[in-house]
Amino acid sequence: MKTTDVRQHNDHGPGPNPEPPFIPFNRPSFVGNELAYISEAIAQGHVSGDGSFTRRCHRWLEERLGVPKALLTTSCTHALEMAALLLDLGEGDEVIVPSFTFVSTANAFAMRGATPVFCDVRPDTLNIDESRIESLITDKTRAVVVVHYAGVACEMDAIAAIAASRGLKVIEDNAHGLFGRYKGIPLGTIGCMATQSFHETKNVTCGEGGALLLNDPRYVDRAEILREKGTKRSQFFRGQVDKYTWVDLGSSYLPSDILAAFLLAQLERAEEIQRKRRLVWDFYHGGLVDWASRSGSRLPIVPEHCEQAYHMFYVLLPTARAREALTEHLERLGIMAVFHYRPLHLAKMGVRYGARPGDCPVAEEVCDRLLRLPLYYGIGDGDVARTIQAVSTFMP
Ligand SMILES: *Cc1c(COP(=O)(O)O)cnc(C)c1O
């Protein structure tokens, strides 16, 4: 399916009083070569992991981002699990994570027996509040996981300085931030390792998928072993060892080459995907600035030194009630806008780790006021204009 088909799908049908076409929050985009590459993978007869398309994806990510090693995984969640294994994080270790993030940012470490410690977020970027990290560090703290929310970088200089002075590892959960930059440096290349997601909801996708980026070459050999069920199978297939047996922990974290084929088609069009997302984001921003100041809402804040990844466009309404009312208003007009994370420290599992209401006041407060607007590669200009118009006619 080409993106033009998406627009046809949105055309008004014949007949009187056509319903305005529904605008979903997200629609996976197909950018051209996905099916051709999948056919090629099948024709090559290699559809398990680490075939030629996987190697091309690795090379693409390594060259484009300038990372020593990229490894495709079956998801960002699995890449985070690999990070926990690689850093030997487990029982008795504490890992600082932002409260305002996806479950996997904490769960992957909890799965290994480590204790997640929840940090509040900054009121402007909604990223981990670096000024609060120090107070959460104990003699058990081993790592800090940062999430570049909406593709806008965390304050990495300050975070790296804290981590260096206290001997902590920094892991970037870069699910939102692919192609974003911090002071000119690509996100995903700053921590000792980083994780990417290629889930259907992310900028570049293969349905379900991810990657582990290793910025420290010392982790490469072991990462390959963990990803191949605790064996040196990767080295074996390169002819570097003559047999492979069980040498370490591990699981099966490598995706089929069919998924890599799909992903390569998307990566090769990444510039175009990003250009389109940027246009939509800028269109929303320009179209809603006046409304935001009239309504007491605020739009995303992107600091000068951050080049964002155009992953998301959100509005922060003045109150939770206003957020509910705007959601319903848009729904009536056939537009799907959605809220986002529930703070992890308030969740059943967060409480089990000793977190309490009031621990992360900013996350607790913004989560009820945030609303994300439709943003995807195939969205038509008319749909964006209609969404801007619909939001603009709402007054809390
Ligand atoms: C999407 C997302 C994940 C999980 O990605 P999967 O590929 O679905 O496992 C993890 N962290 C963040 C911040 C995400 O947005």
Q: What whole-number distance in Å separates Cα of residue 184 and Cα of residue 387?
A: 32
Which helix (H) or strand (E) covers residue 236, if one does?
Answer: helix 233-237
pLDDT, tens digit only, all 396 positions of the chain: 334 343 344 444 455 566 789 999 999 989 999 999 999 999 999 999 999 999 999 999 999 999 999 999 999 999 999 999 999 999 999 999 999 999 999 999 999 999 999 999 999 999 999 999 999 999 999 999 999 999 999 999 999 999 999 999 999 999 999 999 999 999 999 999 999 999 999 999 999 999 999 999 999 999 999 999 999 999 999 999 988 899 999 999 999 999 999 999 999 999 999 999 999 999 999 999 999 999 999 999 999 999 999 999 999 999 999 999 999 999 999 999 999 999 999 999 999 999 999 999 999 999 999 999 999 999 999 999 999 999 999 999
φ and ψ of 221, to 5 deg: -60, -45
Which stretches of the chain are assigned E, i.e. beta strand? 69-73, 94-98, 115-119, 141-147, 169-173, 181-182, 185-186, 193-197, 210-214, 306-307, 314-316, 370-372
Q: So what's the pLDDT on residue 157?
A: 98
Under a CB-based contact definition with an 8 Å cutoff, are residues 343 and 99 in contact? yes
- Give the nearest ligand 1 atom to 105 CA: 11
The strand order across the sheet containing 141-147 reads 69-73, 210-214, 193-197, 169-173, 141-147, 94-98, 115-119
196 Cα: distance to centroid of ligand 1 (angstroms): 8
106 Cα: distance to centroid of ligand 1 (angstroms): 11
Q: 34-268 architecture in CATH? A: 3-Layer(aba) Sandwich (3.40)
How far from 69 is each of 136, 194, 207, CA to CA, in Å?
Answer: 31, 11, 23
- Cross-strand partners of 94: 115, 141
324 Cα: distance to centroid of ligand 1 (angstroms): 25
Indicate the top mutation candidate among 173, 195, 197 to test ligand 1's pocket, ranked by most ligand atoms within 8 A of CB. 197
Q: Which residues line ligand 1 (CB under 6 A)?
A: 75-77, 101-102, 104-105, 147, 173, 175-176, 197, 199, 210
Q: So what's the pLDDT on residue 13?
A: 47
- Give the nearest ligand 1 atom to 208 CA: 7
Tokens of 275: 């250009």
CATH, domain range 3-27+270-337+373-392: 3.90.1150.10
Q: What whole-number distance in Å separates Cα of residue 109 and Cα of residue 152?
A: 24
Using DSSP, state whether 43 is helix, strand or coil. helix
Query: Greatest CA separation found in the chain?
Result: 72
Q: Which residues of 243-275 are buried (b: 16+ CB within 10 A; e: fewer)?
A: ebeeeeebeebbbbbbbbbbbbbbbbbbeebbe
- Give the nearest ligand 1 atom to 147 CA: 13
Please give the model's pTM, rounded to 2 decimal places: 0.94
Query: Looking at the chain, how many residues does it have?
Result: 396
**Per-domain residue ranges of the chain:** 3-27+270-337+373-392, 34-268
Within 8 A by CB and 6+ apart from 164, the residues are: none
Between β-strands 94-98 and 115-119, what pairing exists: parallel, antiparallel or unpaired?
parallel
242 Cα: distance to centroid of ligand 1 (angstroms): 37
